[in-house]
Structure 1
Amino acid sequence: MRQAFVIVLGLFLLSCMQQKSNVKVPVDSSENEQVQNSITMEKQTIYQFKVKDISGNEFDLASLKGKKVMIVNTASECGLTPQYEQLQEVYDQYKAKNFVIVGFPANNFGAQEPGSNEQIATFCKKNFGVTFPMMEKISVKGDDMHPLYQFLTQKAKNGLEDNEVQWNFQKYLINTKGELEKVVSPRTLPNDPSIIDWIKA
């Protein structure tokens, strides 16, 4: 009788151990989300984009590797249009020090850039002596937003922040790795000390 009891007890303990081994430990879903977010939020760069310059030629942003870049949306009939003058001055002063400005004319605000690419190029050259790279006219907001500006304004793509282009002459500062580093208000002048310090740093 005692021997039978020991056998039954042994079988019972063995059964319990097997059940424990089959228990699935719940996975912390928040940890999974954090890992997924860190993958999703990995910084992309501007180097993946190819655009067209104001003459219609392909401009590969990967050609700017190693340079600090200011990307700015411009307009010819805006109260902020005189910023072209400061943009050119800053470009002249720092273009030999791994810095470049890339302008993107856009007609998204108050229809203040109505002209053709050719008219815009003539205006910039004649009135402000612009020599920094100017691209063809694009859209910087709305349903037809250019892919580059989708990158600049969406945290899921730029890894820094969600933002929107507020007006003409908003500035995006790109570091030497092609990553978005800072968004600057349209009303902040291109030669503002905060921008100059960033270029020189």
Structure 2
Amino acid sequence: MPQTHLHWHHHPVQQSQRAAMKGQRAFVLWFTGLSGSGKSSIAGAVECLLAERGRHTYLLDGDNVRYGLCADLGFSRADRTENIRRVGEVASLMVDAGLIVLAAFISPERAQRKNVRQRLPAGQFIEVFVDVPLPVCESRDVKGLYQKARAGLIIDFTGVHSGYEAPENPEIVIRNHQIDIDAAAAQVLDYLQREGYLDRSDI
């Protein structure tokens, strides 16, 4: 329903000031890929590296947000789209607060990820494609989700019943089946340093 009686209130303290108080640039690292690709593990390792450098961060994880923020949502296509929309809004607010946000979500549709990108100023959404082949993801199946999907216990599961739209121009591509978690996290840090998201004292 359109909110016709609302007006955006511009507050005097801006994102640049909040980020400056934390001594950092604010942005989102959006990790996308199939279930079992290692998104959350890599995001966690990257957050540890950033914390070691004194960065102010927050990690939004696909399972964790469904305990609270998205507890009312199921796993239909509409609900999954709404799940990503909500997470995108939260990520945008956290970036406005001056934080570095790490988000690990399958987010299988390009349109979902594009909508989140468009919520943020240019240069503040970094798409990290964890590119791992489906057979490798399924062989890991730590949560047993692929097995349940194959048995018909989970419907509309990405990679089994519905497709995954790989990013066309991600900022970072990690082939997690070819390197370990630490090397994957280092790859992300290398990008952030090379592109000026971290200052030289963080190198």
Band of TM-score, shorter chain: under 0.3
The TM-score with structure 2 as length reference comes to: 0.27
Structure with higher RCO (Cα < 8 A, 6+ apart)? 2
The TM-score with structure 1 as length reference comes to: 0.27
Larger radius of gyration: 1
